[in-house]
Structure 1
């Protein structure tokens, strides 16, 4: 990391430390857009207190963090609580540094691949190809996109455990791009036991390490399952009870807490008749996990990092308890696909969706909860539009990738009967 990027890292840390000492930190820690039943700092505090008192924190329905994390943070929370914001800031800075390192390795691999394939590229596709300059430009854009994104900053100062999730995902992506198989499996297993949905990232991992060998792929998957069981066993060793499985993975899958958030689950299950719950619960969870996994894996089998990016984004949209911190993480990965931006047609629409809906959420929540002049429909309308904007962004990126791949080999200007043709995806 050069001096300029190191200064950006220090500035990002200073911004987080400053706001963590203001009243904004308390406000963000209580906002449903950032703090969910899974990542709330208050619930983690309660879990640590119950654990120290020798009470099983998973007997009720309040604590949903894994015992290993509670045990790791217990001494800090109880003895050095004043330094906890610093720990979260350092964790967030490590995430940014890992993303920076990952992006440099990503560009290096793209250049290596491009040198092999460039003999088949059209002469008109120079603009669409990665260049040596991208080593610096793309990695710096990724760093800035994470460090100075208001969503990641506020998620950090609100002391949400999304900071830890982002760190684990960034570590996984960095290990993945550098081909460290065992590290990838351990990190993915740990995050899967914590929050279920990252299990889908086993697909890009298998595409990288076992694309041409079904036997090797099966072996890797079995090792991944073994790591998951080992981490679950370590959690059992801390608690001497399996209650944590129902309090973490069971809580996520069965969606027991209907607290509003930026996702799609809460309103639907609030309004739905109880005897339909099981069917729609399975439907929603399939939509959040395996529904898009097979078709995307087949289509993007040659681009596992794009597949990982899209899967992380889909998790942030369709998971049971999403937060804006999850959104901020995958937005920081978008500069990796800078060479596709030329073909992204809905940038203004997506930006408008994000700007308007994020601005409306706070006011509509106030009108609903405090002023009593609105209802749940108003707030859910804003979150639904926000999810729609995210889907526009994801599909736009996928279409742009397909168009770029076509133009690399066929050129950007294709003439039919003397007129320039347009590339349309139907």
Structure 2
């Protein structure tokens, strides 16, 4: 890491440290946009206390963190609670550093790949190609997008366990780019057992390591299943009970807590008749996992890292208990696709969606819960607009990548009957 990036890292840490010592930290820890039943600091604190007093944390409906995470954090929670903000800040900085290294290796790989394919590129595509300066510019943009995004900063100072999810995902992306199969499998298995939805990232993992070998892919699938079983067994050894499965994965799949958040589940399951619950539950969970997996994997089979980025983004939109910290993570990955930005047509629309919906959430929550002059429809309208903005961003990125790939080989100016044609995807 160069001196400038290291200074940015220190500045990002200083910003987090400053805000962690203000009243904003406790306020963010109570906001439903950041703290969900899965990642709330208070719930994790309760889980650690119960575990240390030999009480099953999963016998009630309050704690939903993995037993291994609770056990691993119990010592610092019980003995050095005042230093917890420093731990979260250090982990967040480590996540930023891993993303910097990962994006640097990504650009290096793209340049090598480009040298082999450049002879097939059209003449007017220089601005669409990766250049040597991208080795510095793109990692720096990724670093800044993570360190100084208000969503990641507030998620960190609110002591949400999204910080742990982000570092596990950053480690997974790093191992994926470097080609480390075993760390990839272990990290993905751990995060899948912990929060269910990352299991879809098995697809980019197979695209990187299977290399069109069905037998190799089958073996990797068996190793992944074995890693999941081993992690479940380790959780069992901590608890001496299988209750944690229902308290973690079961809680996520069956969506038992209707606390409002920035997602789409809570409003529908609050309003629907109970006899429709099973049908909608299966539909929503399929939408959040396998519905887009196969078509995206086929289309992006040559771009596994883009596939992983899109899947993480879709998880952040459609999962049962999303938080703004999840959104902040995938937004930090967007600068890696800097060469697609020329064809991203909805930048202003997405920015307007994000700015207005995020600004309205706090006001509409106050009107609904405290002032009593609004209802759930108002708040859900803001969260629905925010999810719509995210979908616009994801589809815009996918369309831009398709247009870039087409123009690299066919040129940016397509002439038909002597006139320049427009490329329109429908």
Q: Aligned residue for 2:199? A: 199
Q: Structure 1: state its 5+ residue gaps.
A: none
Q: Aligned residue for 1:185? A: 185
For 2:51 and 2:204, how far apart are their aligned partners in 1? Answer: 37
For 2:237 and 2:17, how far apart are their aligned partners in 1? Answer: 35
Q: Aligned residue for 1:328? A: 328
For 2:163 and 2:212, how far apart are their aligned partners in 1? Answer: 35
Deviation at 1:211?
Answer: 2.7
Secondary structure of 2:57's aligned partner: coil
Q: Aligned residue for 1:301? A: 301
- Runs of at least 4 residues off by over 6 Å: none
5 Å-filtered alignment, 1:62-81, equals: 62-81=62-81
For 1:67 and 1:347, how far apart are their aligned partners in 2? Answer: 41
Secondary structure of 1:420's aligned partner: strand
Q: CA RMSD in A?
A: 0.4
Q: Aligned residue for 1:215? A: 215
Q: Aligned residue for 1:398? A: 398
For 1:55 and 1:75, how far apart are their aligned partners in 2? Answer: 17
Deviation at 1:52?
Answer: 1.1
Give TM-score scaled by structure 2 length: 1.00
For 2:412 and 2:315, how far apart are their aligned partners in 1? Answer: 33
Secondary structure of 2:125's aligned partner: helix
For 2:74 and 2:194, how far apart are their aligned partners in 1? Answer: 17
For 1:87 and 1:422, how far apart are their aligned partners in 2? Answer: 52
5 Å-filtered alignment, 1:14-413, equals: 14-413=14-413
Deviations 1:3-57 (A, max 9, x none): 1100000000010011001100000000000000000000001101111111000
Deviation at 1:389?
Answer: 0.3
Range moving further from structure 2, 347-356 or 413-422 = 413-422
For 1:415 and 1:230, how far apart are their aligned partners in 2? Answer: 58
For 1:296 and 1:332, how far apart are their aligned partners in 2? Answer: 21
For 1:129 and 1:366, how far apart are their aligned partners in 2? Answer: 48
Q: Structure 2: state its 5+ residue gaps.
A: none
Deviation at 1:417?
Answer: 1.4
Deviations 1:348-399 (A, max 9, x none): 0000000000000000000000000000000000000000000000000000
Q: Aligned residue for 1:416? A: 416
